[in-house]
Structures are given as C-alpha cells and as structure tokens.
A = this chain, B = another copy of it.
C-alpha cells in the first residue's frame, strides 16, 4: 500500500479532481449545491494533497456532502461528526479535516460535541449549513428556527428561542468564527479559503436556503435588492461601513451598537474598526449578536486567533515523554513494578 504522503500540494489539481462519481441528490434549487461548488473550487488552491483531505459529516441533507467530494469521506451518525473528526485528528494530525453539519445536526443533537470540539481547539473546520429547519426529516423546527415559526412539529408556532450559531461558537472560544451566505459565492469562497488556512477549530455558519421546507428564510437580509443595506461585510482593520453607496456605518455607543449614516454626527458613539485578532471576544460577540430587523447582519470573519491546537498539544506531550524517557520499551514496561523471580 502506498504510504502516507506529506502535506505537499499535488502538482496541478483542479476543481474536477474534487468531484466524486456520485450523483448529487439534493433537491433541485437547494442551497447546498453552491457550497459544494465553491468547496470544490477552492480546495485545489489550499496546498494539501487530495488524499489528505477528509470530509466528515453527521446526518441531514447537508451531511451528504462528503459523498460528492472526491476525497476521503465519512458520513457518520446524527450529531457526531465533530466527535468522529476529533478522533481522526488525534490519530493523524497531518490530515485536513472538515466537518459538514446542519443546524439540527450540529446544534441540536450534536451541540455538546460542537461545544467541546471548539473549546478544545481541535484543528477541524466546521461548516454549519444553517437553513433553520430540519431538511432531511421533512420540515421540523430546528434550534435556529425563529420563535413563532410554523413547521410540521410546531403547527401553531415554535415556542423556543433560537440559538445564534456565531455567538455560540464565539462563547465556545472557537479560534476562527465566520459567517457567509451560500448565494454569495465569491464571499463564501473567500471565507472557506480562510478557514482552510486556519490552524485550530474553525467554525463557519453558512446561510443556506432550503427551498422545499423553508424557502426564503434568509431573504430579509440576503435578497438581491436589500442585501447591500442589510449585510455588513466584515474586514479586518476596517470600519464597519456598508450600504449601497457605502453610506452607512455601525458605531459603538457604550456597549451598544448604533447604525446610521456614515457622516452622522458622533453623539458619544464612535466608528468601530473590526479586529478579528482581538483575544478578547467582546467585539466578536457584539457583532455576532446583531440580528435583523434590529440591526443589519454581519458576514465575514468575526474572529481569527492562533492558539495551540488540541492535536499539537496531544502529540507534544507524547514527544516530550519520548524525549524524556525514550520511546518506551515494551519489555521494560511489562517488567516494571515490583517483580520477583521463581526459579
């Protein structure tokens, strides 16, 4: 069998190299297609040999993603993709491990594994396809469904308060947190590209339309005619300016955000310069919590900081033990402790 190759780029991969032979089985019009296409486009640029990519998923429409990628892939069980990925990374830290999950898979049944994977800073990239509904099981409320939403399981409206995935990831201290929109293909590609380069737990929420069970759920902010006034594209080191004519800005007033014309007089508030690299998560939190209709919504990278990853630390302890004690001798190990000899 061929041996594990180093993480060097294979000479000339193209998008085509990442398309598997499996027929894509999402509903026509599903937002998942766009993510797949962009992923297949950016991977050749990442500088990792194809055989070193692994796509792991749980269960859901989104979780069929690995079948369509001509890489190693593992379609696991509902909610457990992050846990499976953690094991993969521990066994072989060389691999570039991606987890594809849905709002139900990743935040309902899989919420705890998500939390712990992020806080451990396991070097996996998590793509959460948020369509605010259970797609595969045909339309129940998900943990990101809006309060009051009518679904098959909530015929007179959901009585729960939705989770904000970005805030969740920031609280969990993920070292990379971003949000993008499946229909904004260029933006999405750039966010995926940055996630690919990040070392550590990367979390990307993708607004994804389920045209069958929750059509138009993000239209309020993503529709062609409103998006420039309702989406703020975060850029590191730049103020939060947006709007069709870059005429609007987000300002901080004490601890609250205010939105108004760029040239409005400052009444105690000030323009914020986005800082992805802040070790303090407060700004990221505030930006993540901006939700329509109270605020425009932010897309882009909320946070990108470098900390030692779980797998680095794990292997580090092993290296340390081995350099301190030498690579263990099994004979010595077995014969250690209080032994005696019978002749």
Report A's interface with B, CB cutoff 8 A: 108-109, 111-112, 115-116, 119-121, 143, 156-157, 159-163, 167-168, 170-173, 252, 254-256, 280-283, 285-286, 289, 307-308, 310, 313-314, 317, 320-321
Contacts and interface: CB of A to CB of B under 8 A. Distances in A.
- Max count, chain B CB within 10 A of own CB: residue among A119, A143, A163, A308: A119
Nearest to A288: B171
Given A159-B308, A282-B282, 6 more contacts: A109-B112, A115-B115, A121-B161, A157-B317, A252-B255, A281-B289
User: How many monomers of this protein are in the complex?
Assistant: 2
| Shortest 3 CB-CB contacts between residues of A and residues of B | A112-B112, A171-B171, A159-B313
Nearest to A113: B112
Contacts of A163: 115, 119, 172
B173 A161 contact: yes
A17 to B, nearest CB: 36
A303 to B, nearest CB: 14
Contacts of A254: 252
A157 to B, nearest CB: 8
- Max count, chain B CB within 10 A of own CB: residue among A116, A283, A308: A116
Contacts of A120: 159-161
B160 A171 contact: no
Given A156-B321, A310-B160, A321-B156, A282 B285 contact: yes
Contact of A280 (B160, B171, B255, B321): B255
A174 to B, nearest CB: 11
Contacts of A161: 119-121, 173, 307
B159 A314 contact: yes
A255 B257 CA distance: 12
A215 to B, nearest CB: 25
A294 B280 CA distance: 12
28 contacts: A108-B116, A111-B112, A111-B115, A112-B115, A115-B163, A119-B160, A119-B161, A120-B159, A120-B160, A121-B161, A156-B320, A159-B308, A159-B317, A160-B310, A161-B173, A161-B307, A163-B172, A167-B171, A171-B171, A252-B254, A255-B280, A255-B286, A256-B280, A256-B282, A280-B289, A281-B289, A282-B282, A282-B289
Contacts of A157: 317
Nearest to A309: B159
Contacts of A119: 143, 160-163
B156 A317 contact: yes
A203 to B, nearest CB: 14
A89 to B, nearest CB: 13
- Max count, chain B CB within 10 A of own CB: residue among A172, A308, A320: A172
A282 B289 CA distance: 9
- Max count, chain B CB within 10 A of own CB: residue among A159, A256, A286, A317: A159
